[in-house]
Amino acid sequence: MTDLEERLTQLPDMGPALDLDRLQAELARRASRAGLLDVAYASADSPLGKLTIFVTSRGVVRVAYENEPDDLLLEELADGVSPRLLRDPRRTDAARSELEEYFEGRRHSFDLPIDWSLVHGFAVGVLRATARVPFGRVTSYGEMAAEAGSPRAARAAGNALGSNPIPIVVPCHRVLHADGGLGGYSGGLHRKRFLLRLEGTLPA
Amino acid sequence: MRLPPFQSLVDAHAGELHRFLVGCVGYPDAEDCLQETFLSALRAYPNLERPDNLRAWLYLIAQRKATDAIRLRQRRPVSDLDGVPSERLSVPAAGLADDGLWRAVHRLPSKQRSAVVHRFVFDLAYRDVAARMGVSEEAARQNVSAGLRRLRLEVSR
């Protein structure tokens, strides 16, 4: 290696280390303002562990418990909504504070708009009906199927609820078996029990 | 072809693109260039026709942002920098101090500049320089040697 080449391997001054948080915040802010940020997300702590919340200009599009790996989640949103996706706590502020109030018992219904982009087919009717089940009440898979226009499709309604992309906000935990059994919950039954206890529908 | 979530490109490449840009334009401008690189990339992102080498694509955008920054700098007189007249800031006549060498790197034609930075700052083999630039190995080699020839001229001037 010549002397010149040797000198070229030594950057004289890298300057201060790259501040990734600042880069990220500034990028998200400018992208948002330019209308280039389709999906913003951030995580929030909750009594049920870390929640990852995704929002679009239309509303909350996805809420995930920590049992879903980040990389798969991001891919799901990139494929299902838009690959113009960035971490941006600021854009998820409203959703995060409503969830926080809910877990503190100070909020019984969400004012957040919902983006239904990830919901398709029969599940649309089932989950829209579920979104109307109020705090402190429970209902059954069969009733939700009926609300969606197919009273005999309780099993299909169960599948639709199992794939609810916006748990807690769309309260699929309020849907139980007609015989009173808990049914299922994609976040794990311990989380369903916790939410029902929080709402006073299951004894503590 | 599916596009990965843009955030994963930022997470995977922000660090190396920043280092690349420090080599291409120096550190005070590198962070702005990086910001502009990601913003331009995000603007074009959903409509990419051949998203098969996203890393080379990002480096190409960064190369353009570096060129823009250097053009802007050359149009803007630096005479008010700490009150030192601009002629005193220019390259000394005999040999080049390291900062002078890097200013000469900044002024290289864009492909030569990128090739030199990939080759030496990152210590990459020509095959890897080529992959990052999205060009043939032969083209990478030619750009590095043309860049070095120019730099030698400046050093010996």
Task: List, as one string, the DSSP characters of B33-97.
Answer: HHHHHHHHHHHHGGG-S-TT-HHHHHHHHHHHHHHHHHHHHHHS--TTGGG--HHHHSPPSSS--
Q: How many CA atoms lie within 13 A of A160 on its CB side?
A: 27
Q: Give the chain B residue whose CA is nearest to the CA of A29.
A: B39
Domain range for B150 is: 82-157
- pLDDT score at A15: 78
Catalytic residues of A: 172
The DSSP bridge partners found for residue A86 are A40
Q: What does the pLDDT look like over B18-50, one tens digit per residue? A: 999 999 999 889 999 999 999 999 999 988 877
How many Å apart are CA A96 and CA A190, to the nearest integer? 22
- pLDDT score at B86: 46
CATH of the domain at B72: 1.10.1740.10
Cα dist from B74 to B27, B77, B83, B101, B142, whole Å: 17, 7, 18, 16, 26
How many Å apart are CA B22 and CA B9, to the nearest integer? 19
Which one of B23, B42, B76 terminates a domain?
B76
User: Is-contact B140 B130, C-beta < 8 A?
Assistant: yes
pTM: 0.89
State whether residue B147 sits within 8 Å of chain A by CB.
no
End-to-end CA distance of chain B: 51
Q: What does the pLDDT look like over A107-128, one tens digit per residue? A: 999 999 999 999 999 999 999 9
**Cβ–Cβ below 8 Å for B38 and A27:** yes
- pLDDT score at B77: 65
State whether residue A182 sits within 8 Å of chain B by CB.
no
> pLDDT under 70 in chain B at which residues?
1, 77-97, 157
The pLDDT of residue A195 is above 90: yes
What residue segments make up the domains of chain A, in order of their start?
A: 23-103, 122-198
Please state which architecture CATH assigns to domain A23-103.
2-Layer Sandwich (3.30)
Residue A47 distance to chain B (closest CA, Å) = 27
Question: What is the pLDDT confidence band of residue A190, given thresholds at 50, 70 and 90?
Answer: very high
State whether residue B32 sits within 8 Å of chain A by CB.
no
- Fold exhibited by the domain A122-198: Arc Repressor Mutant, subunit A (1.10.10)
Q: What does the pLDDT look like over A45-78, one tens digit per residue? A: 999 999 999 999 999 999 999 999 999 999 999 9
Segment 73-92 of chain A within 8 Å of chain B by CB: 74-75, 77-79, 82-87
Interface with A, mutate which of B2, B6, B113 (most A CBs under 10 A): B6
